[in-house]
Amino acid sequence: MASCVCGRTKGVRKGKDGKPLGELKISVIAAKNLPAGHKDGTSDPWVSVSVQGERKWGFSTEVKEKTKDCVWNEDFAVKRICDFKWIDFIVKSKNFMGSTELGRATINEKSHKLSRWPQEIKLILDHGGELTIKVQISYNIDPLFTPYCGTLSLKILEAKDLKDSTVMFGKQSTYCRVNMCGEEYKTEVAKNAGTTAKWPDITFEFKVKDVNNDPMQDINLTVLAEGTLLDGKLGTLDLPLSLLLSHKKQWWSLFSNREMNVKQGKILLEADFKGTGGYPKTSLATIKKASYGVGERQLDVTSVCEGYMKDGKLLLTAPASLDWVFACDPYRNQTKVLEVEIKAGMFGSGGSKLVC
């Protein structure tokens, strides 16, 4: 029977203590409503950045003069970090005696789930004011995934169980808007469709370049009801490209409130991709199927897991989570499961399924 263990993962650089070696990138973007550092009510602000890992690193921005609202857009990086713990941001105001502290804030793995994709974070400083930063941390896991380049073909076929936006009489007319990386299309309006809708069999094509499952590169769909003055939103859907391509044709749940994870309605999509990138092509000798996710949002990671099977063990090292290993988060802010189904007859068994 196969088993899932933490082991040595090919392509992951490691430090002296055996922990995965990553790169931390920090951008100090802007601050506003800072406290006054001078008697005239202004400040000369700058930011001290301190990173705690297996050792300490320090950075500082340039000084901005006579302001309590300023923009830096300065980037810093720790090229080799094994054991990230926290980042301290201390905003100070320069004066003739040195500097006066205006406020500070800290982020860590518990307060913010850092990932390979840049996250813009607004930090409230302890003495007032707000500091905007951007942080990402990535581990060199190669060759698990390469960015997509090519053409995505997408068909938006039909929707069902939609929210009914009509008050009393008539049936709503619906359409769908889809965008990805700046390209946007719209289906025809399904007149008097009510809570179900069918659209003509039309293929929308997106030119894909260096798409790496960054949430900013998701395919975003919005189903709307045509209105007299304003169109009403019936549901939305966001899909990383790897997740969409894991299912050639599938019904997907729409969200009436994505932040609260409230679903209403479904939409049928058919997708095809021609180009390069994605997961490695591996001959499937051991694994029948492997998926990572929850519910319908299952990422096909069969070829990745096959590459890390050895002597009946799945040797995966997740530096922070399996989102790292598969270079994709199929369902953000939700608990996900990795399921691996072993072929019958392998390792003296009639086939088995392991859950990690």
pLDDT of 124 > 60? The answer is: yes
pLDDT class of 8 with cuts at 50, 70, 90:
very low
What is the identity of the amino acid at 2?
Answer: A
Spatial separation of the C-alpha atoms in residues 189 and 198, rounded to whole Å: 9
256-277 pLDDT, tens digit per residue, is 998 888 999 999 999 999 999 9
DSSP percent split of the chain into helix, strand, coil, nearest 5 = 5, 50, 40
Average pLDDT, the chain: 86
Model pLDDT, residue 1: 36
Region of residue 11 (left: phi > 0; alpha: psi -120 to 50; beta: else)? left
Model pLDDT, residue 214: 86
Phi then psi dihedrals of residue 47, to 5 deg: -120, 130
Report the predicted TM-score, pTM, of the whole model to 2 decimal places.
Answer: 0.70
329-350 pLDDT, tens digit per residue, is 999 888 899 998 888 665 555 4
> What mean pLDDT is predicted for residues 107-128?
84
198-245 pLDDT, tens digit per residue, is 999 999 999 999 898 988 899 999 999 998 788 999 999 999 999 999
Model pLDDT, residue 4: 41
Spatial separation of the C-alpha atoms in residues 90 and 24, rounded to whole Å: 18
290-305 pLDDT, tens digit per residue, is 999 999 999 999 988 8
pLDDT of 143 > 70? The answer is: no
Q: Which residue has the higher pLDDT, 135 or 90?
A: 90
Number of residues written out for the chain: 356
